Amino acid sequence: MTSNLAAAATSVELHLHLEGALNAALARTLHEATPGLPPPPKGAIVEGSGGVQWGFDDLGGFLRCFGWATHLLRGPEVYVRIFDELAVSLRAQGVVYAEVFVAFGQMLRAEVDPEPVLRRLGSRAAEIEGEGGPSVWFIADVTRQWGVAAADKALDAALDLLDHRIVGFGMGGDERAERARAFGKVFRRAKAAGLGLCCHAGEGTDPDAVREAVEALGLTRVGHGVAAVADARLLRELRDERITLEVCPTSNECTGVWDPRAGEHPLARLEAAGVPVVLGSDDPAFFKTSLRAEVERARQWGFSEAQLSKWAANGWDAAFGEAAGISRERVDWPAAGADPQKPARSRES
């Protein structure tokens, strides 16, 4: 029984950036092989005991590293290379279904055409699934600090490529650069096109940022959202409206959003409040983590196998893709009577 619960815990991942799977060694190789690119931010690539690694001290430093790294991705071949490595990792972890952010905003800013990239990624994802690997779908991601016009342009590009396994629309970047409400029209267009909606909010800000993003953008999922723990009313709202928070503890630690010396991770309070959560690795190459590692860390904190399985069930229920309902049947769930958190169905689109 425990083994089935343990397998279920890593069956679905919803907060995972494709560009965040770019390891520092490959990034350095790409930079050296591509003339004319800007140098990396100071300290972004460092030599450590484990080899070449990403280096940053806080959330702002990470965002600068991530932004620079995306400019190294100049065409479909390198995107597919990163995706193939990521798919191998997902399969080894027992991930059956994943929704992966692809930074459309970054591509357009770097003057990379998204069409051949998504065509290749979609084709490769279908091949991997057909070979028994994880079922992977994509979320078109825009960058908040570049404004509404850039987000609109990125959405236009994504809407032309929906046949290439795009099931969602999201926004990351610097939360302090622009209010979420400014992007309301963009998100309404995405919803009208049938895309699921998510957005990074409350990562390094405050509860009001989470509330505004949910209300102004019509979200069903929030990336991170850990600042919500400071507002009891917001926690009740998230619980009652079944808004799923994609919680990434190691990411929070690496970016300074959470300091373990200051107390337990907000995950415990979110769980106690009944807010739906699902674990994510966020940017695994940058934070040297994986979904399996996040699950193991939660175990070490004392969360039970039933709780871990419940969080996976939350992920299945919150998944944007219709294919999640089929993929879920590949999971070796325990008998329903033994695991009351087994999802009865995936979220309706």
pTM of this structure: 0.92
DSSP state letter for 133: -
- State the average pLDDT for the chain: 92
pLDDT (0 to 100) of residue 310: 95
pLDDT (0 to 100) of residue 325: 76
2-326 CATH, one of 3.20.20.140, 1.20.1260.10, 3.40.50.300, 1.10.30.50: 3.20.20.140
Strand partners, 279: 247
Domain ranges of the chain: 2-326
Is 102 in a helix, a strand, or coil? strand
Q: How many CB atoms lie within 10 A of CB 267?
A: 25
Using left for φ > 0, alpha for ψ between -120 and 50, and beta otherwise, residue 277 falls in: beta
DSSP state letter for 266: T
Confidence class for position 9, pLDDT limits 50, 70, 90: confident
pLDDT digits (tens, 9 = 90+) for 161-198: 999 999 999 999 999 999 999 999 999 999 999 999 99
pLDDT (0 to 100) of residue 51: 87
